[in-house]
Amino acid sequence: MEGEHWAAIAIGSNMGDSRAILQLAVDRLDHTSGIRVKARSPVYQTVAIGPPQSDVFNACVLISTSLDPKTLLDTLLTIEAQFGRVRQERWGPRSLDLDLLLFDDLILNQPNLQIPHPRMTQRAFVLVPLTDIAANWIEPISGKAIAELLQQVDCSGVRKIQD
């Protein structure tokens, strides 16, 4: 792809057949113009953050993309909507959640788009699967590798699901 960039995306679901939704979302990403999935982590199950709700199934993917960050975010939001995502309450249940975590070594702080994702360094459910596929990627704000950031969070609530 011309103008290729690398990005990391977190995928989560806790409504419906979440494991199947995660796989379908990865397939949808890989078949979207300007995006190619290069690596996918295993699936993990974690306790949800926010109001009482079902556990969340999480994974991460690495993609190469010719899209700019805003267009990529818009594409992720469109895919979420195609899977029935409705944003009713902060951190509420979701059929599909696609979070843009990293985009090359870009640091971006706009009202509707922050890269790196502002809370990724505190979330084991993001760092555990991301370490599986991008352990040496340097998070540009901290200057630390993803594997280093993982050592700074409590991973006790993250359980790998056997495929």
pLDDT at 92: 61
pLDDT band at 87, cuts 50/70/90?
Answer: low
- DSSP label at 96? -
Distances (CA, A) of 159 to 23, 47, 89: 18, 10, 26
pLDDT at 1: 46
Which CATH number characterizes residue 69's domain? 3.30.70.560
Report the C-alpha gap between 150 and 124 in whole angstroms: 7
Q: What is the mean pLDDT of residues 95-104?
A: 94
For residue 128, with 0-12 CB atoms within 10 Å meaning exposed, 13-18 middle and 19 or more buried, which class applies? Answer: buried
pLDDT value for 155: 94
Q: What is the pLDDT of residues 4-41, one digit of tens each?
A: 999 999 999 998 899 999 999 999 999 999 999 999 99
Q: What is the pTM of this model?
A: 0.93
Question: In whole angstroms, what is the distance from residue 158 CA to residue 53 CA?
Answer: 16
Catalytic residues: 85, 94, 97, 99
> What's the structural domain count of the chain?
1
- The number of beta carbons lying within 10 Å of the beta carbon of residue 139 is 23
Nearest to 75 by CA among 18, 31, 21: 31
The predicted-structure confidence for 106-138, as pLDDT tens digits, reads as follows 999 999 999 999 999 999 999 999 999 999 999
Domain range for residue 139? 5-160
37-55 pLDDT, tens per residue? 999 999 999 988 777 778 9
